[in-house]
């Protein structure tokens, strides 16, 4: 019954558990947290809601992925309401798919990982 109510209210469900993700508040939080990133400070990343989280994209300044400097996928954040954790994925541009990176209860910890990115796994 909760799943039906959640779907009627536009909320996604995971195993019948209500998920408040994605939402405007966390979308804005992610946008603000991205301002603290260490790489590509001179471009404006884009954050979009997905069915269960958020997609972060950015213009490709390095031209390593897109020679034209177009928008490229940086990270995918998905909330698993059943486990109460965030899942972070990085884009494998060679294979063209998403690669699981880590689980975390805190959105802030995931964003710190994306923002530091010392190994250039996200901001390529």
Q: In this structure, is residue 75 part of a structural domain?
A: yes
C-beta of residue 90 within 8 angstroms of C-beta of residue 75: yes
Write out the residue range of the structural domain in which residue 44 sits: 20-116
Section 107-116 average pLDDT: 96
pLDDT of residue 73: 93
C-beta of residue 58 within 8 angstroms of C-beta of residue 37: no
Q: In this structure, is residue 111 part of a structural domain?
A: yes
Q: In this structure, is residue 104 part of a structural domain?
A: yes
Q: In this structure, is residue 87 part of a structural domain?
A: yes
Please give the model's pTM, rounded to 2 decimal places.
0.80
Backbone φ and ψ for 16, nearest 5 degrees, come out as 85, 0
Q: What is the rounded CA–CA span in Å between residue 38 and residue 57?
A: 15
pLDDT of residue 76: 98
Q: In this structure, is residue 93 part of a structural domain?
A: yes
Mean pLDDT of the chain: 84
* Domain count of the fold of the chain: 1
Q: In this structure, is residue 24 part of a structural domain?
A: yes
C-beta of residue 13 within 8 angstroms of C-beta of residue 7: yes
Q: Which residues contact 107 (CB under 8 A, 6 or more apart)?
A: 26, 29, 30, 77, 86
pLDDT of residue 123: 84
Q: Per-residue pLDDT tens for 23-80?
A: 999 999 999 999 999 988 888 999 999 999 999 999 876 666 655 667 889 999 999 9
C-beta of residue 84 within 8 angstroms of C-beta of residue 15: no
Q: In this structure, is residue 7 part of a structural domain?
A: no
Say how many C-beta atoms besides its own lie within 10 A of residue 85's C-beta: 16
pLDDT of residue 8: 38
Q: In this structure, is residue 123 part of a structural domain?
A: no
Residue 18 — very low, low, confident or very high, per pLDDT cuts 50/70/90?
A: low
Section 94-110 average pLDDT: 96
């Amino acid at each position: 019954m909760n799943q039906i109510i959640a779907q009627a209210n536009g909320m996604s469900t995971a195993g019948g558990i209500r998920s408040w993700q994605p939402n405007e508040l966390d979308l804005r939080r992610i946008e603000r947290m991205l301002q603290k990133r260490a790489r590509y400070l001179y471009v404006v990343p884009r954050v979009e809601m997905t069915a269960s989280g958020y997609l972060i994209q950015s213009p490709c300044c390095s031209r390593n992925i897109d020679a034209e400097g177009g928008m490229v996928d940086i990270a995918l954040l998905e909330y698993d309401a059943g486990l109460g954790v965030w899942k972070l994925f990085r884009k494998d541009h060679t294979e063209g798919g998403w690669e699981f990176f880590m689980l975390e209860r805190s959105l802030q910890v995931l964003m710190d990982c994306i923002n530091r990115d010392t190994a250039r796994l996200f901001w390529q």
